[in-house]
Amino acid sequence: MPLLVVGLGNPGSEYARNRHNIGFMAADVLVRRHSFGPWRSKFQGEIAEGTIGGDKVLVLKPQTYMNLSGQSVAAAARFLKIAVDDIVVLHDELDIAPGRLKVKRGGGAGGHNGLKSIDSHLGQNYRRVRFGIGHPGDRDLVTGYVLHDFAKADVDWLVPVLGAVADNFAMLTAGDDAGFMNRVAHLTAPPKPPKKEKPPTTEKMGEQAAAPAAEPSPPTGGSLADALKAAFKNALRKKDE
């Protein structure tokens, strides 16, 4: 039984870089990284076919606009005879910090209109890869926030996350959701700052100051040592004279 992976977003170039379209972005990277076949217009969406980890995978981007995503997903699932258990939906998540993601099966839509539409057609027992985009802090600002382009600074976390998801997607197709989450988190974690050396204590500084300085010892070999010996002999000879 193939896996149906659904990236959620809105069609059209004006929405292409919106936060709400991170599902489309993830779908595009997945198809490119695994050398899928070309996108084809079908099931009120665009669909591409390939294999990941030896498993057949179909990637769908509904072109119905977000609020009607369920129409496209249901049409594909019915025609291809794919069970709801074998559907994975990639979508944006306000309640997760930017650059983080979680995988879960079932649960509510959390106000996400794309998920609401899928729920109404197929129920809730599908897996979701929830890409964190952060929250604007005010419920009244949510619509404008999700329909606004990612900021330039977001590229620093967005590109690594999309790449890590695509490169390790075989863990999801194998059902290892926890391992997949841990792997992506590990690959996209910010580098730890170097440990700062502790400054010496007052007592230690006092000990260092009180310690007698080591007297330099003359060299015992080499051209410099030979020159010093010669100079010392000359000094003794002059003294005897």
Enzyme catalytic residues: 20
Q: List CB contacts of 158: < 8 A, sequence separation 6 or more.
A: 22, 25, 99, 150
In this structure, the strands spanning 55-62 and 45-52 are antiparallel
Q: Residues 44, 47, 53, 54: is their CA dihedral positive or negative?
A: positive
212 φ/ψ angles, rounded to the nearest 5 degrees: -65, 145
Question: In this structure, are residues 166 and 34 in contact, taking their beta carbons and an 8 Å threshold?
Answer: yes
**173: enclosing H helix or E strand:** helix 169-173
Question: In this structure, are residues 62 and 72 in contact, taking their beta carbons and an 8 Å threshold?
Answer: yes
120 φ/ψ angles, rounded to the nearest 5 degrees: -70, -25
88 φ/ψ angles, rounded to the nearest 5 degrees: -120, 125
Extract long-range pairs of 181-186: CB within 8 Å, 24+ residues apart.
Answer: 181/101, 181/102, 181/103, 184/101, 185/100
Looking at the DSSP bridge assignments, the partners of residue 101 are 131
